[in-house]
Structure 1
């Protein structure tokens, strides 16, 4: 009996665990009040680590963080508000991050910029815009910072000047009530009439507000003439509407007369044309309805819209004769006549694309008056041989999704235009031809050495509602090789910025690894409040096991709101004259509220001076620092291949600042900077200067990580170097 022995061997492939990485991310310009954050992330730690972050100025060294980290993935954002307020503000400072364990150590110092002073916005509000001689001017002022928090300090100087710039009143070192300054000033019985100016001097800035003093009669009526902003030369008709109401809301009944004219640009003799007289005018009559409005449809064939000898606008004059009193109310306006019948624009698009992830966005089509055009066919062309036809919806929008797989890392030019309409302005045979304005867009490929990408989707709504939950959808595509050694959970981190400030941060884990899905969509839920309005910039980033940092950013418009809510309403919608009424005010406990009650008729005299949420935002919220005025760090150039420069004398030229579409630029464009040992920059060509015996120099470009470039680029480098070798050899022979 023979006994066989069977040997079975097992081959187990053991993938090495990824090495640790660190990432420090921070605003390049720190606000003077320090109301922002700096964030640290450690990935793939295999042992405990001691971590320290300090802020260093010429006079101060402040420890921001000292932590003993034991987690494999660790993330922390540190507020700088208390720190910045307790140091002498300097123009520059350094962030110093050090970490160390038995096998992993790092130390990085990065320069940051500190604003020298806080920026506030001052508001001045008078109780009404126009005063009669002898009346008392009442006004309030408040200074707010970017968080809409009032400045409680004294007001150094308040001045009132008359129309001749004479100082007629002033207040010094005024103490405010919880930030609100309250003032009154009696006018003389015979003052100079005209525009007066209030000046507030505070926090090194000067704020103006004007009011008018004149003998006036309060208007009894409010008249509105509603006209289209513009019409195109192809429009067959348009509508004009006139509405009139008494200031207490009751509609005015009567008869309206419209006069609509198109003026001639030249004096045309009748012999030239029996139709082309000096002006083209028509009158229309109508009676107001129960709402106090009258509308007329105007047909355009009479006005020769495509004849260039007339001005490209309508002048509209309207007159309403009140029933019973025969009092006349007037209004006037203009309507532009445009040869551009439509305009096509790209919206919700980025200036880069990620190979393997569809490039999405929408095209919008609007008419000459700015209104959306539905049912319009739009052609989107990405290359000469590739186009797509879309039809706009009721909002004048058409969504598109383009496959990027065949774009081959090339710069792509996109165009969108209305089908069947010329795209250039022209005049043929004395007549104006209509045209449509096309849209164009150039997108560049985003660089990733592993071809792994993130893409934040655009919002389905044009405006994100403040203080409401909002879902951010992130598309991802990973290279399987880049995930080798992954523990199975991928950590997605996100930051939300408004202006120069990081206002929100967080992370979300997803089960993505070598055995999981390499392509999909992740959802992150955030609530964007007043501190993120009106423009929230979102950054989502991931550190891959191979040490590559991938990221994407996108800006969202957030509806304007305030952290403290207030409601004000009359208890009765309508009361009789000379009777009492009540106001109901609802606000958070402890709120200081300033009220103003004034006849609506007064506000009709100068409605543009009314305080609004838009005015508060534009004054209190500051401009974003221009990060492009700051110096980017140039990429690191590695030494050349020793064989390529053997027996050669050369000088390495410092590389210039790169503006390539890589993760470093994505982060920089948000006003952020990073300190990290991850890979995030696109390799660039650098230069060597080779010197021969007669000191002539030749620029020989070379690159590192040449595998990241097309083969043709590497061949070009070799050819250029060979040419330089040949030239140097010839020089030696002739010498």
Structure 2
């Protein structure tokens, strides 16, 4: 099977040898454009014999709108141009916009069309609950929050807000609501006989956008008129049914590229999701090779797998942790094992780029060196080529925010050495390997997805590497919240001190921390903001993605040969995963099997970044205090008020301590017209004692 594939490559590449390099071009632009906003497109032109006049326009509803023109010199050129997207209204029934690049010279004419999507509404919608769990007869309070793409408050209009009970029966409904300072506060009483179960809050905009949040109604916390001596033995509470568990870090899972080491990262956490250091993780490769790895202070371990002689189309890896203090495992505990199947990346010439990136969160506005490794086969290099250019595009929140070029002299690079006789017969001893670093500055404003695409335009194909960078959840608006004392007696006064930008509206939430042990959904946190942004992006892409027809002809194969290409990644998918269109006359796509609907299914599947698969697994907060005292009453909410911050940038709120023995957790979000959303990084704690 491998030999047939190799002979196929040779027959195709045989057409390339001895032929003068033809002109090459590429045009990259975000797939999703926002009318009225600026965005960036990038162009490559190689092997030109004459200068070209470049004209780029958008065809919208039958009208061509020029977005920019440029003059391209008769030499290799890489440049990016900022342009404003025409502010044209289109609806869901309109023909999708088409962007066209036309480059004309005396003899050469290049015309390339690509379909794009318009997304006018980049607003973000969040629903904050006073508490995620309620009892029958209690009042439910919540806030609907609307933000623009820069996290600034938007006075959005909502057609309806509905409360739907467990059986699907509407319990409350509001019509034609308008936010003030980005917030709509609402509340309603639960009936005393309210059925137990999950309730949904549905927020609808006039154009059918729906935001959903959920709370639960449970019977709990009944009054007790006598003192009881109780011994509690924890068996399997809902939120703590975890044993120590090892998970592969989804940001450190590259595609399988023969000849380039495969790096896997793992994290080991205990039952409270705290990192476990100096513990041993057992790593197994393809069911037999076992390696013991020791975790660092952050519970992380990393291993590099040598791929120099690996020929299989996939790599199966398992990571397991055996708790030395655990003789037997209860059935309700999570399995401590994790596994992945790394799939091969397609390359016509057997040339690859691998972008290595740090496991840690990268700080906003700081500069980092991102390592890049490459492997260039003789077929990929072509005859006599000494210098290869690598290009990079950094994409943040659907826009190209940084770009650049890095040239490498490959003539002085040491050959890649491989061990097999098959490799020697293929003359891969002149395959060149090397590495370099890109100095990249992170955006100053938080983004849930930073994608770096590094690519090179070889004579036979475009090769790529992609990295999904993990960025710290930094917001420009810095806010803080603190109590004047750490504890106090019921009925006494305590002061809550707020700091935010002048003129901010701040939403307080002071909640009994024990409630969050049951469920911590519906809170305004950086993690929930991240997830809302990601869901917004995925929802739009899935509803508007227009798959392009493959530009390469399909191939007829029989039997197991079809698995060669079915699951492989490609340069085409790398650009698509970064949210980019990449139009070129150089081979970009892997071969596809005639009648293979999986080609198009893959395009939708690849949109789902593995970074978010474990989102709900990580929502348990390590800082939750442990509740150990017996309670006589359960006033779960102390405050769910809104406070305006004056010109001084600070405010003080006087609160009466509730008549209960509780540990309270206070958090806050603030909205400023200038600096946008601010969220307290850590809760402020207060203990009330009887």
TM-score of Structure 1 vs Structure 2, range by shorter chain: 0.5 to 0.7
- Corresponding position of 1:558: 471
Render the CA deviation track for 1:102-142: whole Å, top value 9, x for unaligned. 35331122233445x6254434558899999xx99997643
2: CA distance, partners of 1:218 / 1:201: 36
Counterparts of 1:201 and 1:334, CA distance in 2: 31
Per the TM alignment, residue 665 of structure 1 is displaced from its structure 2 partner at its CA by 3.1
Of the three residues 420, 445, 469, the one matched with 2:344 is: 445
Post-superposition offset of 1:406: 0.9
1:526 pairs with one of 423, 440, 456:
440
Which residue in 2 is equivalent to 1:718? none
Match of 1:67 among 70, 78, 81: 70
Q: How many angstroms does 1:553 deviate by? A: 1.2
Q: Which residue of 2 aligns with 1:22?
A: 25
Report whether the alignment pairs 1:494 with 2:358: no
Matches within 5 A, 1:245-394: 258-260=231-233, 314=235, 336=241, 345=248, 348-350=251-253, 352-364=255-267, 372=276, 374-376=278-280, 378-382=282-286, 388-393=291-296
Shift in alpha-carbon separation, 1:504–1:194, aligned structure 2, 3 A:
farther
Q: Secondary structure at the match of 1:151?
A: coil
CA distance in structure 1 between the aligned counterparts of 2:532 and 2:370, rounded to whole angstroms: 29
Matched residue, 1:634? 550
Aligned CA distance change for structure 1 residues 477 and 406 (closer, same or farther; 3 Å)? same
**Conserved 8 A contact 2:131-2:511:** no
User: Is 1:541 paired with 2:445?
Assistant: no
Take 1:131 and 1:348, find their aligned partners in 2: how far apart are those partners? 37
RMSD: 5.5
Aligned residues of 1:349 and 1:362 also touching (Cα < 8 A):
yes
Contact preservation (8 Å) 1:218, 1:602: no
Does the C-alpha gap of structure 1 residues 562 and 103 become closer, same or farther in structure 2, counting only changes over 3 Å? same
Please state if 1:665 is matched with 2:578.
Answer: no
Distance 1:379 1:155 in 2: 52
Equivalence for 1:508: 405
CA deviation map 1:611-661 (0-9, x unaligned): 333334434551422499743422434999xxxxxxxxxxxxxxx997643
- Give the CA deviation at 1:51: 0.7
CA 657–669 in structure 1, closer or farther in 2 if over 3 Å, else same:
farther
Residues 480 and 565 of structure 1, relative CA distance in 2, 3 Å threshold? farther
Inter-partner Cα distance in structure 2 for 1:145 and 1:118: 8
Partners in 2 of 1:157 and 1:569 — Cα distance? 36
d(CA) in 1 for partners of 2:549, 2:565: 7
Q: 2:358 — aligned with what?
A: 459
In 1, Cα distance between the equivalents of 2:294 and 2:216? 53
Alignment of 1:76-475 (within 5 A): 76-78=79-81, 82-85=85-88, 90-115=94-119, 118=121, 120-123=123-126, 141-152=144-155, 154=157, 172=176, 174=178, 176-181=179-184, 201-203=204-206, 204-205=208-209, 258-260=231-233, 314=235, 336=241, 345=248, 348-350=251-253, 352-364=255-267, 372=276, 374-376=278-280, 378-382=282-286, 388-393=291-296, 395-408=298-311, 410-416=312-318, 439-461=338-360, 463-475=361-373
Is the deviation greater in 44-53 or in 511-520?
511-520
Worse overlay, 46-55 or 530-539: 530-539
1:359 positional shift: 1.4
| TM-score, normalization by structure 2 | 0.61
Q: How many residues align?
A: 532
Q: Distance in 1 between matches of 2:321 and 2:520?
A: 43
Give the counterpart of 2:504 among 568, 593, 600.
593
Shift of the alpha carbon at 1:259? Answer: 3.4
Q: Is 2:144–2:184's contact at 8 Å kept on the other side of the alignment?
A: yes
Whether the aligned pair in 1 keeps the contact of 2:355 and 2:466 (CA below 8 Å) is yes
Partner secondary structure for residue 314 of structure 1? coil
CA distance, structure 2, for counterparts of residue 417 and residue 530 of structure 1: 36
SS of alignment partner, residue 282 of structure 2:
strand
Residue 25 of structure 2 aligns to a residue whose secondary structure is: strand
Task: Please state whether the residue corresponding to 1:52 is helix, strand or coil.
Answer: strand
Q: 1:33 to 1:184 in 2, by over 3 A?
A: farther
Deviation at 1:61, TM superposition (A): 1.2
**C-alpha displacement at 1:474, in angstroms?**
1.1
> 1:51–1:639: structure 2 CA closer, same or farther, 3 Å change rule?
farther
- Change in CA separation of 1:46 and 1:369 when aligned onto 2, cut-off 3 Å: same
Matches within 5 A, 1:614-693: 614-621=527-534, 622-624=536-538, 625-626=541-542, 630-637=546-553, 660-683=568-591
For the residues of structure 1 that align with 2:216 and 2:239, how far apart are their CA atoms? Answer: 28
SS in 2 for 1:26: strand
- Shift of the 382–138 alpha-carbon distance from structure 1 to 2, 3 Å rule, reads closer
Q: Deviations over 1:167-207 (max 9, x none)?
A: 6x967564x5554457899x9xxx96688998765344456
Is residue 178–residue 592 contact of structure 1 (8 Å, CA) maintained in 2? no
Name stretches of at least 5 consecutive residues in structure 1 with no aligned partner.
Answer: 1-14, 220-253, 261-312, 316-331, 641-655, 688-735
Q: Work out the CA distance in 2 between the residues paired with 1:659 and 1:137.
A: 48
Distance 1:80 1:595, change over 3 A: same
Q: Secondary structure at the match of 1:258?
A: coil
Q: Deviations over 1:138-180 (max 9, x none)?
A: 976432244424334555567899999676x967564x55544
Report the structure number with the largest CA radius of gyration. 1
Instruction: Report deviation, 1:507.
Output: 0.6
Give secondary structure in 2 for the equivalent of 1:475. strand
1:39 paired residue among 37, 42, 49: 42
